[in-house]
Amino acid sequence: MPDLKKSIAYLYLQQTALERETLYNRPHPDIAPAEPFKRYPSSPKLLLPRRWDGEETNFWKLLQRRRSHRNFSTESMELTELSLLLWAAQGITGQAGSYYFRTAPSAGALYPVETYVVAVDVEGAEPGLYHFDIRGFQLEQLRSGRLEGELVAASLGQGMIRNSAAVFVWTAVLRRTMSKYGHRGLRYIFLDAGHICQNLLLAAEALGLGACPVAAFFDRELNSLLGVDGEEETAIYMAVVGRKN
Ligand SMILES: Cc1cc2nc3c(=O)[nH]c(=O)nc-3n(C[C@H](O)[C@H](O)[C@H](O)COP(=O)(O)O)c2cc1C
């Protein structure tokens, strides 16, 4: 397929393939690292509940049952549920020196992915945009008010968002991973995001909620909704969560 071979995607894969002969002397771009955690110090904080008294669920049944749900009832989500979803996606589960290990694996333990939540209908969280402060296990409120309209428009008109309870938006701070792995690091960033999203999807299923991954969005519009520049940090993935209808 000559057309495939001319594509930017194919060239990227070719040029970022590891080769035995050049493993230690391949050209490596000089990319400065970035802070491992993002914080919004002046934003209002919403502490997330850490307790969970719900029932245990069978992991194998969860795998069998998980399906993408796009049809939600208008019932709200509890803050405890949102808290569990965030913990499943990116919660800290261990520490070694300056490394904070998470529920989802990350290439080089560099954790390039940041989580933002648009609260549509969450009891105990005003509608608006929040950033997940992973170490503080709290939400940092960045915008208040209804953002569903903007989000639907930014995601190519995906109307399921209107009846959802919360929308997760994941960004990548590219330098965190690319400073170590160069151009190949971009592959790892997307793999990291996949792990995080799958954790969220399974956690949603465990809570009896419905969820759908979303990658169809207008990148610039979504970045502007989040207030990120699209260069140092850029939106890469989303998931819509709500009560199944
Ligand atoms: C990377 C990725 C991007 C996706 N983007 C969208 C999307 O933008 N909108 C949507 O409705 N579903 C999206 N999906 C969901 C797929 O359509 C769904 O996973 C697929 O049809 C298989 O169905 P299942 O998830 O129920 O097993 C996406 C899934 C993945 C993995």
Measured in angstroms, how far is the CA atom of residue 43 from the centroid of ligand 1? 33
142-165 residues labelled b (16+ CB within 10 A) or e (exposed): eeeeebbebbbbbbeebebbbbbb
85 lines ligand 1 (CB under 6 A): no
Q: What's the pLDDT at 22?
A: 86
Measuring from atom 10 of ligand 1, which residue has the nearest CA?
214
The predicted-structure confidence for 7-49, as pLDDT tens digits, reads as follows: 999 999 999 999 998 888 777 789 999 999 999 999 999 999 9
- Encode pLDDT of 177-195 as tens digits: 999 999 999 999 999 999 9
Residue 96 clears pLDDT 80, i.e. is over it: yes
Stretch 53-82: mean pLDDT: 94
| C-alpha–C-alpha distance, residues 115 and 245, integer Å | 26
Cβ(61) to ligand 1 under 6 A?
A: no
Q: Do 201 and 195 contact (CB within 8 A), yes or no?
A: no
Average pLDDT of the chain? 96
For a ligand 1 pocket test, name from 164, 212, 219 the mutation site with the most ligand atoms within 8 angstroms of its C-beta. Answer: 212
Q: What is the predicted pLDDT for the residue at 2?
A: 66
User: Is the pLDDT assigned to residue 117 strictly greater than 90?
Assistant: yes
More confident residue, 51 or 154: 154
Statement: residue 58 has pLDDT above 80: yes
* pLDDT tens digits, 106-116: 999 999 999 99
Q: Which atom of ligand 1 lies nearest, measured to the CA of 70?
A: 11
Q: Which of 14, 37, 43, 8 is nearest to 26 (CA)?
A: 14
Q: CA angle at residue 117 from 209 to 160, to 5 degrees?
A: 50
- pLDDT score, position 145: 98
> Does residue 86 have a pLDDT over 70?
yes
Would the pLDDT of 6 be above 70? Answer: yes
Pairing of strands 128-133, 138-144: antiparallel
pLDDT of residue 1: 58
The angle formed by the CA atoms of residues 147, 45 and 204, to the nearest 5 degrees, is 60
Give yes or no for residue 53 having a pLDDT over 80. Answer: no
Q: Which two tokens stand for residue 25?
A: 């002397």
- Among 107, 91, 73, 44, residue whose Cα is nearest residue 200: 91
Choose between 51 and 149: higher pLDDT: 149
| Range in 55-64, 81-90, 138-147 the model is least confident about | 55-64
Q: What is the pLDDT of residue 220?
A: 98
For the chain, the structural domain boundaries read 2-51+58-243
* Number of CB atoms found within 10 A of residue 218's CB: 14
Split at pLDDT 50, 70, 90, the class of 160 is very high
214 lines ligand 1 (CB under 6 A): yes
- pLDDT at residue 122 in the model: 98
- Residues with Cβ within 8 Å of 166's Cβ and at least 6 positions away in sequence, in order, are 77, 82, 85, 117, 118, 119, 120, 121, 122, 241, 242
Q: Which fold would CATH assign to domain 2-51+58-243?
A: NADH Oxidase (3.40.109)
Backbone angles phi, psi at 179, to 5 degrees: -65, -30
Cα 22 to ligand 1 centroid, rounded to whole Å: 37
Average pLDDT on 73-90 reads 97
